[in-house]
A and B are shown apart, each in its own frame.
Chain A
């Protein structure tokens, strides 16, 4: 493996790549937006208890489970992999040749 060549390519790919950096900025901004909506939801449920949707455990549980599972799958697994451009990363020569 040509280490020097791969070092230069890795630097371009992981640090200087404009497309990767753009994706990461979008991901950070989306986190902030989702975070603001999340805080509003928590605040609403907090101040309007017990008249809000979370008056009963089943409804509360369904809301919490749905939100966290959807968020994990869509935002963390799919979104994180997109933000890091993992698909493209796996195609790079240094990953193909590694170990």
Chain B
């Protein structure tokens, strides 16, 4: 009975996703890549607020972070708190400038801005497009699909591969159909489900334990070390900074600035992610972890990620359990959809369009959009295949370097917007040095001196970027004038 109920709600949720994509398709400007990939820069503040929240918070919001708080106590909360403290100026100040230039020069991908500002074609498209946007992102699509597959298997009893196939097909369908507009509408609905799921589980725990004070008291009794900080301060500080500083330039959020209708809408990307941080990553985990400690006081630390779904399925009524599963699917699928569209845009714009410009191959804009839709399907099929096989070394590198890798965009964007001496040589060598440093500090000497690898990558990237820029030929006056850096 429970699984039938959950299945019905999940099917309803899928139908709504497809319906929203079809609705979005009605407003589509046919054959326009700017419309397909960034909705012609026409999305308003309410939708962008919700879509940013849904994109930024993935299945990790339900599983990984609750597991972290379960294992690391208050350290994990303080770690997540960094998102709120340090990311806002980047969201607002950098986001508003990227929105402005995106609209003015018709950008579609993150590499569009970098290539234009640094007057560098292929090397930058390769580094920013293929490595940072595609290689670092594609495995996160796989993780989201796996998370959905696992949750659906636990909730409904259908096999995980079948569940993953259904999720893959659904994602491919609504992203290919609706483009950025469809993804944004679906995200808006998914953001509400994501937050509702977390709120419902917290509310259920409070009611079940007889009020907030009792919940806290019982949580403390179940595990007196529940709040004890279990991570070194340097790890909290540096790990938190990596996520906080990179977040506003996560590629799937970056393209949201381009899709904003006006500056108020671009500002909503920051306020949406900020509200997600307040509710989902900082405030409610304190309550939820107490509930989990009461129900499962001695759970194996390596498997704490699964507790929230286990709790919902074992202890909550079917209606609420179904909402929690739908919330998890919403969190995972909204992030995956943003990433799929991003990767598809990189292949279509950074690769296909760039190649055709340098060859005799001539593709119309309509054909570029069609290639984008085809790439969506191909990316999803590859992701499904990757979800079925054991993770190899290349996948591990991609996953562990993703968020620290996104951080390397910060010096390039800040330098590009405010420093006239910043040039392509500095940007290319800075990125290469940063990536090599990341590899060494993640896989060879892990987090030297207890400081997160991302910080080492950022420092080396920035130093090389500045030194090489100062030693080499500056960017042309024409380009500097286009970015308001000279009169």
Contacts and interface: CB of A to CB of B under 8 A. Distances in A.
Interface string B274-318: 110110001100110010000000000000000000000000000
Interface string B237-271: 10000000000000000000000011110010011
Given A45-B74, A46-B236, A60-B74, A76 B282 contact: no
B74 A71 contact: no
Contacts of B441: none
B27 to A, nearest CB: 12
Interface in A20-51: 24, 27-28, 31, 34-35, 38-39, 42-43, 45-47, 49-50
A57 B216 contact: yes
A52 B71 CA distance: 21
B197 to A, nearest CB: 20
A80 B272 CA distance: 12
With a 10 A CB-CB cut-off, give which of A60, A65, A80, A83 has the most chain B CB atoms. Answer: A80
Contacts of B86: 31, 35
Contacts of A15: 97, 100, 484
Contacts of A10: 100, 104
Contacts of B88: 31, 75-76, 79-80
B92 A80 contact: yes
Nearest to B231: A46
B77 interface: yes
Interface in B97-126: 97, 100, 104
A89 interface: yes
Contacts of B263: 14, 84, 86, 89
Contacts of B262: 89, 95, 98
Nearest to A15: B484
B264 A86 contact: yes
A83 B270 CA distance: 13
Given A28-B93, A46-B236, A80-B271, A58 B85 contact: no
B42 interface: yes
Contacts of A61: 216, 286-287
Interface residues of A, number: 49
A15 B104 CA distance: 12
Dominant SS among interface residues on chain B: helix
A27 B290 contact: no
A39 B263 CA distance: 31
Contacts of B219: 57
B223 to A, nearest CB: 11
Contacts of A24: 89, 92-93
B201 interface: no
Contacts of B100: 10, 14-15
B271 A77 contact: yes
Contacts of A42: 78, 81, 233, 236-237
Contacts of B274: 72, 76
Nearest to A30: B89
B209 to A, nearest CB: 12
B58 interface: no
Contacts of B92: 24, 27, 80, 83-84
A31 B267 contact: no
A32 to B, nearest CB: 9
A7 interface: yes
Nearest to B213: A58
A43 B93 CA distance: 29
27 contacts: A14-B96, A14-B100, A15-B97, A31-B86, A31-B88, A35-B85, A39-B237, A42-B78, A42-B237, A43-B233, A45-B74, A47-B233, A54-B74, A54-B227, A57-B219, A58-B213, A61-B216, A61-B287, A64-B286, A68-B278, A69-B278, A69-B283, A72-B274, A75-B88, A79-B88, A98-B261, A99-B261
Interface of B: 42, 74-75, 77-78, 81-82, 84-86, 88-89, 91-93, 96-97, 100, 104, 213, 216, 219-220, 226-229, 233, 236-237, 261-264, 267, 270-271, 274-275, 277-278, 282-283, 286-287, 290, 484
Cβ-closest 6 pairs across A and B: A57-B216, A15-B484, A14-B100, A42-B78, A76-B274, A28-B89
Interface of A: 7, 10-11, 14-16, 24, 27-28, 31, 34-35, 38-39, 42-43, 45-47, 49-50, 54-58, 60-61, 64-65, 67-69, 71-72, 75-77, 79-81, 83-84, 86, 89-90, 95, 98-99
